[in-house]
Structure 1
Amino acid sequence: MELQHNPALSLGAAVAAPKERADERVIETTIPARLDSLAWSGFHTRVVLALGITWVLDGLEVTLAGALSGALKQSPMLHFTNLELGVANSAYLAGAVLGALGFGWLTDRIGRKKLFFITLAVYLSATAATALSWSVASYALFRFITGAGIGGEYTAINSTIQELVPARYRGWTDLLINGSFWIGAAIGAVSAIVLLDPAVTGPDVGWRLAYFTGAGLGLIVFVMRMWIPESPRWLMIHGHPDEAHAIVADIERSVIGHAQDPRTRDWPKIRLRMRNHTPLSEVAHTLFVTYRQRALVGLVLMSAQAFFYNAIFFTFALVLTDFYGIGTDQVGWYILPFAAGNFLGPLLLGRLFDTMGRRIMITFTYGISGLLLALSGYLFSIGALSAQGQTVAWMIIFFFASPAASSAYLTVSENFPLEVRALAIALFYAIGTGIGGVAGPALFGALIDSGSRASVFAGYLFGAALMIAAAAVAWAYAVAAERKSLESVARPLAFLE
């Protein structure tokens, strides 16, 4: 039964009989247009800080895994081999894959806000447990659970930020947030420098305190998220239009000092049939039939960057220690400039994704990253680089690779309808990481164990080829989503003509 139009519907409220089911009601609303019309404000900055810090946590975790590898090998209790380190790092990624899938489905089903508290709690508990590991197996298990929390964070947080940030800022904001991974990497590097210093802690204590650093940071984040609202776009479709309208009005009062009256503005309206949930059969049809080409593009971008990043960064410390003789307590100094390049890339290039456009910038950043890795890999294979030269080379490569990798998350989060957005992020993150990320650290751990520079170079060439192939796919098929509302890039499944 469709409702007769009245002004309340344009405000985001729906009028229906008390016994009428949510999925039988129709709403005409300007909520997406109202959110996109807002200028950047303190509200948006607070959202970015409270939610975007997820990537800081992930950067901290991944950096600790790499920087602490030498200490774990020397631990009197654990005695890791390079292969065991690679397997443990792959366990973290495998957990992220499964966590993204499970929590991604729940994010679309029960809402963004509930999930970003649940996933953060999982992360906190598992990170603290990692610090108490008593064997290789327990360490790998706790890393797996930590990864599950982080994987779930990706889906809940990416979808929430996409749905709260105005369209004209969406690309740069998304890239910058994903680039904040490297702030966490820098924190992890400094923690490793201090806590692995033999003069400060013992060989089996420093790495444990480093993991407690992550848990402590997570507790701060938990408090910061208390005031972040549920996505009005999600509420609007899932049968809570009055709550959605109230949240948008609060946001407007925070940004411009008063709630806007849609009846006095010529905003575009959309009509939606509200629903309680989206069946998995409809999700599958949407992703793999209706948006099959977009799905293939997302899969290629996610897979290429996952192998490229995880294979190289998880074994960063092993290359420095095994091929350049750098002490385990000094690895953090080399991670700092590497992290700086990774953060500066999205910061300085991110706005171009909103001005020059997605297709041009995704193609450029993926392509140049692959070419530079192939070149530096060759120089590594012939012994032409010192430890400092290798670090500078990686810093330059990842100045471009960082916005490339972030653009993969941007692509899969804005190219699909709202009802399946979180699960789409989860699915392509999971498949991409499963294909390109889980195998990467274990493969490179084995290549480094061989002691052969030529073998490691072959791994670098494979990663470079994946990035160049992804650049070609982006050039041919990437969607020009810059400065467009999410609803115009991909209409909600609940949309009515």
Structure 2
Amino acid sequence: MSDDMRLGTVTTRIPARMDRLPWSRFHWMVVIGLGTVWILDGLEVTIVGSVAARLTEDGSGIALSPADIGYAAAIYVAGACTGALLFGQLTDRFGRKKLFILTLAVYVVATVATAFAFAPWYFFICRFVTGMGIGGEYAAINSAIDELIPARARGRVDIIINGSYWVGAALGALAAVLLLNEGIFPADFGWRLAFGAGGLLGLVIMFVRRHVPESPRWLFIHGRDEEAERIVDGIERDIREETRQELEEPGESITVRQRKTISFKEIGGVAFKHYTTRAVLGLALFVGQAFLYNAVTFDLGTILSEYFAVASATVPYFFAMFALGNFLGPLLLGRLFDTVGRKPMIAGTYLAASAFTVLLGVLLMGDGLTRWTFMALIGVTFFFASAGASSAYLTVSEIFPMETRALAIAFFYAIGTAVGGITGPLLFGRLIDSGNVDLVAIGFFVGAAIMTLGGIAEIFYGVRAEKASLENIAKPLTAAEAEEEEPAVPGRRDALEARRHAEERRALAAEHRAAVHELRPRADEGDRDAAERLRVEEVLAQTAEWDAERLLEEATAHDERAAAERAATDDERRSALESAAAADERARALRERTAALTAADQQDAETHAALASAAAERARAREQNVMAAQARARAAQAEGAEAEVARRQAETFDEWEKMHAELALAYAARADRDEDEADRHDREAAAHRLRAEAAADRMEAAQHRSAAASLAEEAGAAARTRPADRERDERIRERVLRRERMRPTGWRRVLPGPGETFYSPGMLGTASRWSSDVDIALDREVNAIARALEEHGPTTRRRLAELVGARFWGPGRFRSALREAVHEGVAQPQARNRYAPPSRPTDTEQ
């Protein structure tokens, strides 16, 4: 990966913050906005299955044979595989939201185009493009849902959402009953309306989907951590307002090496080199469910018509029953995937579905089935198979690193579906065309065998992912990369080693201090030997303590140099290197102090003491240099009085730096026994001290001028806002009183919210102290509505919401504010969805 694709290293708690959120309206929005893709897919597949018999009849307007129906199904699946691979890679590269909007648009356009099919080749092309949209949806949506839903509920939510495919299937089947009724719609028109309805539903879903945010997990890994933080902050704020409770403290953080893009080759290497068994598991689960599902779903109508004499007009009723059993499986079994666990439930559903499929084949060969017993057995089989199939998507979206999630889903969906989803309908189509029911039963046996392989793979290779964070199930590539790079950063390992030695020296110092305490009573009693040993122990304790401090300073220096390597700007790098040099000087000072304490004679002790003081002064000079640079950076970014204060601070730090540098030279000269040179540097230091104190006074003057300007501004603002605050508080007080009068008598509700506290305006006088943030926000929103009406005149409710930006207020806020505006008379309803200002006539809006 080229360096320009790499960004900085960041530590974040976003995954832990998302996983600990309580269930809320936000999560329902995610489920409705994103999970409905399976309803669309179910609608598509079932419509084709339900109208298959009609499409093969004369007068349908498109001459398809039973084999063509199988070809169309295979082409649809091939398009889904292609779309999954294409859009899956784009999803990991450009983000979840951009792609789940794009793929839905592809689906809408293609399915509407299908309604205008006039020949088999045109029908096949439209089915291919429609499949591309749905396949891309699978990749984008599964990854987004898993990254937005809390870990404790991820299993059941994923299973039920994937199972909602059958809600679409039921809708398609029931709609087909109406649309295939030739007494209502002509034979060549009803099936076209069925496809058009799918496009209309897609447009409705796109409207809901606009409000779903980008995955914060994707954002922080791709260098947009500030945007991720803002999104999570907004979600947390809305949930706190909704629940009226503080959120739990999030768990552990994660450190990642941010990257703009990750190559397809690298993703493939991760899947098959580092997660080989998981790759085998994903393939087994997807091939198993895709073969059985696509074979039966696409050909169920034909089987019923050919072998159980079910008329094409009544096939949709049987499809509705089939869909009901399929949806009940995920709905009723979904929570067990989080409680009982992934491995037993996935393996159990696959093997149970396989067993019932074998029974179905046996009874089919023995002519022991009627249309009703056949459908009953199909329903039981797919009660388990549906939950198992849903778990395949859940498994693949959990067990691979986040950067590869969408493409992993796409890859295994495409490969599994290409092997099972295409061969299944083709095989069953041929077997049904043979007219031999025994051959159809063999098709069911093949499906059972493949499902069994999926269950066995889960037993041996399954991952226990229930209630676990996605980052703990499969560590993100960028997190593993950050861990691998961390020891390689210069100084990082040395810093850890220095801190370890410092702790050892502190332990030794504590031992010597303990010996001092034991020897002191004996020394005080006049024991000369104890007194001598006491002095030795005191020196050893002090030198050990200074050694520990020196080692810690060296560790700080190593850390600062490591920070310099990771610095994003040149200024940050220079600051880190200067701080490292200051830590080195402090370590040198401690080393010289130790040498002075243990010197053989007084002259050596004085020399080392002077060198220690020189090193300490050099450290102070470097510290002042760092602070001066930081002050200059603040001055460059600030304006007015704040910029002046920062410039004065920089001047002050510069003078202190020069003073400390001169003092360091003076002490170094004394170590060399050059008193004349030392005196000269002392005089220079004194001059710099005076200039530094003068600069400090000018800085203080600038600070006072800045404070005075700020206070003047605040006083002006207070003078301007005090009447407005009083008016606002009076409006809130009247609003609360009105709620009190409107509330029925009896025990008052004590849940938090506007006007629902024990506050009594008559007892407390004014509302300013007791007004909640919600009341203040409501007042602001009512005023916004009043201003919009005054400026724009009579307008519709929708236009009014656009004028005040109500979509940013939160769920239900515009409705509440508009109701209060009407009660207070600042908005007058003219019609059901039309409002005007009180002072204007009710003229017609232009």
Asked if TM exceeds 0.5, the reply is yes
Distance 1:314 1:266, change over 3 A: closer
Q: Distance in 2 between matches of 1:487 and 1:81?
A: 50
CA contact (8 A) 1:252 1:259 kept: no
Q: Distance in 2 between matches of 1:474 and 1:318?
A: 33
Distance 1:259 1:354, change over 3 A: closer
1:21: how far off?
Answer: 6.2
1:75: how far off?
Answer: 4.4
User: SS where residue 267 of structure 1 aligns?
Assistant: coil
1:494 partnered with 2:465:
no
Q: What corresponds to 1:336 in structure 2?
A: 320
Q: Once structures 1 and 2 are overlaid, which stretch shifts more, 264-273 or 71-80?
A: 264-273
CA contact (8 A) 2:325 2:380 kept: yes
The AA in structure 2 aligned to 1:79 is A
Q: What corresponds to 1:16 in structure 2?
A: none
User: SS where residue 11 of structure 2 aligns?
Assistant: strand
Alpha-carbon deviations, 1:369-402, whole Å to 9, x = none? 0010110121122221111111111111111000
User: Which of 332, 346, 370 is residue 330 of structure 2 equivalent to?
Assistant: 346
Q: What corresponds to 1:478 in structure 2?
A: 462
Alpha-carbon deviations, 1:392-435, whole Å to 9, x = none? 11111111000100000001101000100000000000000000
The AA in structure 2 aligned to 1:47 is V
Alpha-carbon deviations, 1:322-373, whole Å to 9, x = none? 1111111101111111111111101110111111111100110000000101
1:46 partnered with 2:36:
no
1:55: how far off?
Answer: 0.1
Q: Once structures 1 and 2 are overlaid, which stretch shifts more, 379-388 or 24-33?
A: 379-388
Query: Scaled by the length of structure 2, what TM-score is found?
Result: 0.55
Q: Distance in 1 between matches of 2:58 and 2:278?
A: 47
Q: Distance in 2 between matches of 1:443 and 1:138?
A: 24
Q: Distance in 2 between matches of 1:75 and 1:169?
A: 50
1:275 partnered with 2:255:
no
1:282: how far off?
Answer: 1.4
User: SS where residue 227 of structure 1 aligns?
Assistant: coil
Q: What corresponds to 1:322 in structure 2?
A: 306
The AA in structure 1 aligned to 2:153 is Y
The AA in structure 1 aligned to 2:54 is A
Q: Distance in 2 between matches of 1:101 and 1:316?
A: 28
Q: What corresponds to 2:40 in structure 1?
A: 57
User: SS where residue 40 of structure 1 aligns?
Assistant: coil
Q: Distance in 2 between matches of 1:201 and 1:142?
A: 23
Distance 1:259 1:395, change over 3 A: closer
User: SS where residue 430 of structure 1 aligns?
Assistant: helix
1:259: how far off?
Answer: 13
CA contact (8 A) 1:82 1:446 kept: no
The AA in structure 2 aligned to 1:67 is S
Alpha-carbon deviations, 1:22-73, whole Å to 9, x = none? 7231111000000001111111011101100000000000000100101100
Q: Distance in 2 between matches of 1:198 and 1:266?
A: 60
Q: Distance in 1 between matches of 2:58 and 2:151?
A: 50
Q: Distance in 2 between matches of 1:122 and 1:258?
A: 36
Q: What corresponds to 1:15 in structure 2?
A: none
User: SS where residue 271 of structure 1 aligns?
Assistant: strand
Q: Distance in 2 between matches of 1:258 and 1:139?
A: 48
CA contact (8 A) 2:89 2:264 kept: no
CA contact (8 A) 2:305 2:312 kept: yes
Distance 1:258 1:454, change over 3 A: closer
User: Which of 136, 159, 166 is residue 143 of structure 2 equivalent to?
Assistant: 159
The AA in structure 1 aligned to 2:208 is M
Distance 1:246 1:258, change over 3 A: farther
1:104: how far off?
Answer: 0.1
Distance 1:371 1:258, change over 3 A: closer
CA contact (8 A) 2:177 2:314 kept: yes
CA contact (8 A) 1:250 1:259 kept: no
CA contact (8 A) 2:357 2:381 kept: yes
1:113 partnered with 2:97:
yes
The AA in structure 1 aligned to 2:143 is S
Distance 1:285 1:324, change over 3 A: same
Q: What corresponds to 1:32 in structure 2?
A: 15
CA contact (8 A) 2:7 2:260 kept: no
Query: Scaled by the length of structure 1, what TM-score is found?
Result: 0.94
The AA in structure 2 aligned to 1:472 is I
1:246 partnered with 2:230:
yes
User: Which of 454, 470, 485 is residue 438 of structure 2 equivalent to?
Assistant: 454
Distance 1:465 1:256, change over 3 A: same
1:257: how far off?
Answer: 2.6
The AA in structure 2 aligned to 1:92 is Y
Q: What corresponds to 1:7 in structure 2?
A: none
Determine which structure has more spread, i.e. the larger CA radius of gyration: 2
1:202: how far off?
Answer: 1.1
Alpha-carbon deviations, 1:190-219, whole Å to 9, x = none? 111000011111111111111111011011
Q: Distance in 1 between matches of 2:85 and 2:243?
A: 37
RMSD of Structure 2 on Structure 1 (CA): 1.7
Distance 1:192 1:266, change over 3 A: closer
Distance 1:141 1:266, change over 3 A: closer
User: Which of 167, 172, 175 is residue 183 of structure 1 equivalent to?
Assistant: 167
CA contact (8 A) 2:48 2:298 kept: yes
CA contact (8 A) 1:95 1:147 kept: yes
Q: Distance in 2 between matches of 1:154 and 1:456?
A: 30
Q: What corresponds to 1:406 in structure 2?
A: 390
CA contact (8 A) 2:17 2:250 kept: no
User: Which of 180, 183, 193 is residue 177 of structure 2 equivalent to?
Assistant: 193
Distance 1:259 1:102, change over 3 A: farther
Q: What corresponds to 1:3 in structure 2?
A: none
User: SS where residue 314 of structure 2 aligns?
Assistant: helix
Runs of at least 5 residues in structure 2 that lack an aligned partner in the other structure: 484-846
User: SS where residue 328 of structure 1 aligns?
Assistant: coil
Q: Distance in 1 between matches of 2:205 and 2:9?
A: 37
1:281: how far off?
Answer: 2.2
1:299 partnered with 2:283:
yes
The AA in structure 2 aligned to 1:394 is I
Q: What corresponds to 2:834 in structure 1?
A: none
Q: What corresponds to 2:399 in structure 1?
A: 415
Q: Map of 1:435-450 to 2, 5 A cutoff?
A: 435-450=419-434
CA contact (8 A) 2:397 2:409 kept: yes
Name the count of aligned residue pairs: 477
Q: What corresponds to 1:202 in structure 2?
A: 186
1:91: how far off?
Answer: 0.4
Q: Distance in 2 between matches of 1:381 and 1:349?
A: 31
Alpha-carbon deviations, 1:464-493, whole Å to 9, x = none? 011111111111110001100000000000
Q: What corresponds to 1:68 in structure 2?
A: 51
1:265: how far off?
Answer: 4.0
The AA in structure 2 aligned to 1:66 is G
User: Which of 212, 234, 242 is residue 228 of structure 1 equivalent to?
Assistant: 212
* Bigger relative contact order, structure 1 or 2 (CA pairs below 8 A, ≥6 apart): 1
User: SS where residue 259 of structure 2 aligns?
Assistant: coil
Q: What corresponds to 1:356 in structure 2?
A: 340
Q: Distance in 1 between matches of 2:423 and 2:305?
A: 22
The AA in structure 1 aligned to 2:7 is E
Q: Distance in 2 between matches of 1:433 and 1:22?
A: 33
Q: What corresponds to 1:369 in structure 2?
A: 353
Runs of at least 5 residues in structure 1 that lack an aligned partner in the other structure: 1-19
Q: Map of 1:126-145 to 2, 5 A cutoff?
A: 126-145=110-129
Q: What corresponds to 2:6 in structure 1?
A: 23
Q: Distance in 2 between matches of 1:298 and 1:106?
A: 21
1:379 partnered with 2:363:
yes
1:121: how far off?
Answer: 0.6
1:253: how far off?
Answer: 1.3
Q: Distance in 2 between matches of 1:267 and 1:203?
A: 61
CA contact (8 A) 2:328 2:383 kept: yes
The AA in structure 1 aligned to 2:347 is T
